[in-house]
Structure 1
Amino acid sequence: MNRATLIILTTILTNCISFIFSLIIAPIFNDTATGYQTGDSIKLIIIVIIITPIAETILFFSLIRVILQKIDSSGKYFIILSSILFGISHNYSIIYIIDTFITGAIWAYVYLISEKRLENPTVNLIIIHILCNCIMTSLSLI
């Protein structure tokens, strides 16, 4: 699987999970928190679609991987810690935390795959994160 396919499939998978949580699971619990806010479109694009994915990828994935790399060569603690912190940082609701925890675990795994393939894992995740935020933000504005 090449880099573009990895990025596209990961984006599709994580958006499908988010759709399941937001369209099926959240209504069961009467949970309307999505984390996406409407308002000034330019600010929304700059913050949610550009700045946030870069900052979150560096903070929750790249930095944690660098810190844990010497004691966690397999990456299992990296996946666990990154996904927990990523999920908790999206504390709009318990459903949203679970959704972003699962997304974080997938993204951490993709980070390790990219690292093993000698690709730039940070760039791959930033692209995936931007694509996911772009799709979800666009849908929330409809």
Structure 2
Amino acid sequence: MNERLRKVNSYLSSLSPIKFIIVMTALTYLIIIPFIPLFYLAEKHIGPMGGAAEDINQLSFIGKILIASILAPLLETLVFQYGVIEVLDFINFSKYRQAILIVISSIAFGMSHCYSVIYMVYGFLIGLVLAYSYMLYKKKDFSAFGVVFWIHCLRNTISTLLYLI
């Protein structure tokens, strides 16, 4: 298992930033697929998933795109990837520090999407992809913030457009 993860990490590290952004945006959707039956059961027995789209329904099309595709990714990347990871990265608390930082960042990201328990799990899974991306590009000494912002921006734009169709 560790060897497979190393190979995947090596492959992802070798991608150009644009290819990486596209692959990781796709992964934010693919990572959800195994959980769809659980989300369905939870919605059926607990209640609706909810989501940000319900909060911005009264805005114009341009307003929805600006909020969901630019403002939210900018602020969330600043707080949940840059903020959490950069602040805690100075603490050398474990040889598994990077994995722990990814999980902490993802938990914070998921909890901020508190529309429902289901949505928080959904946010946590997406947060794993975003935090991993941040850590990878931080090591590459490339704009980790920019890469994560664009992954998040692209993902939210696709989701917003699909919601509006």
Shift of 1:19: 6.0
* Partner in structure 2 of residue 101 of structure 1: 124
1:66 pairs with 65, 80, 86, which one? Answer: 86
What's the % identity of the aligned pairs? 31
Higher Rg: 2
* Partner in structure 2 of residue 47 of structure 1: 67
* Partner in structure 2 of residue 10 of structure 1: 24
CA RMSD of aligned residues (A): 1.9
Structure 2 residue runs without a partner (length 5+)? 1-14
Of 49-58 and 23-32, more deviation after overlay is shown by: 23-32
* Partner in structure 1 of residue 52 of structure 2: 35
SS at structure 1 position matched to 2:23: helix
Letter paired with 1:27: Y
- The 2-side partners of 1:141 and 1:20 are apart by 25
* 1:77-116 matched pairs, under 5 angstroms: 77-116=100-139
* Partner in structure 2 of residue 122 of structure 1: 145
- The 2-side partners of 1:126 and 1:20 are apart by 25
Q: Deviations over 1:16-36 (max 9, x none)?
A: 334665x64433222341332
Residue 56, structure 1, aligned to residue 76, structure 2: yes
- The 2-side partners of 1:16 and 1:127 are apart by 18
- The 1-side partners of 2:112 and 2:52 are apart by 11
After TM superposition, the score normalised by the length of structure 2 is: 0.77
Of 95-104 and 65-74, more deviation after overlay is shown by: 65-74
Residue 26, structure 1, aligned to residue 26, structure 2: no
- The 2-side partners of 1:35 and 1:113 are apart by 28
SS at structure 2 position matched to 1:75: helix
Aligned residues between the structures = 141
Shift of 1:77: 2.7
